[in-house]
Amino acid sequence: MEYDIFTQYKKGFPALRVKSHPDLAIMLFPDTFFHLSPVEQTIISRSERSDVSIYSRQILDLVPGKALEILPFPRLSPYFIGLCRKFFESGDDMARIAAEQLVGGMKLDEAWIQLNLSKAPPKVQYLASVLVDERVSSVDEFWDAQMSLFMASDREEELQCIPGSGFQ
């Protein structure tokens, strides 16, 4: 079988099918897979979450908002650092793509990098800067159109203010 970057990283981990979305598989990864251990220090506690949570349309298309309230979410900076480390340590292209999508979707910039990645390894900081530069210099009309559908109601600022984002 040929190596496939879109499926290789999932091998060996359990997957659950969602009854309401049979084509959707939820993968369960240990906290160490993306360097999120100790997990207790990297997830957003219930007390930090607001009563009115903001989720992107892409997430809400798959999972109802009520169901999201019980799911643990990692803070953005440790998750971003973990994705970058995964890319550097194993050459996992999907981890780099995920980091790139976080930069684009959350509109991360150099100020966010300085504030949230100051203690990250230098090559993580460098990759973050490269991804920010790529986002700023690239023109992706499809992505911009998709994001503008979500952001059309001035929710961009709300999304960046989610607990654990590092924008506060």
Residue-wise pLDDT for 142-158, tens only, equals: 655 655 554 545 555 66
Cα R_g (the chain), whole angstroms: 16
- pLDDT exceeds 80 at position 7: no
- pLDDT exceeds 60 at position 68: yes
Q: Quick check: 36 and 74 in contact, CB under 8 A?
A: yes
pLDDT of residue 62: 77
Helix 122-137, helix 76-90: angle, nearest 10: 100
Mean pLDDT value of segment 65-88: 88
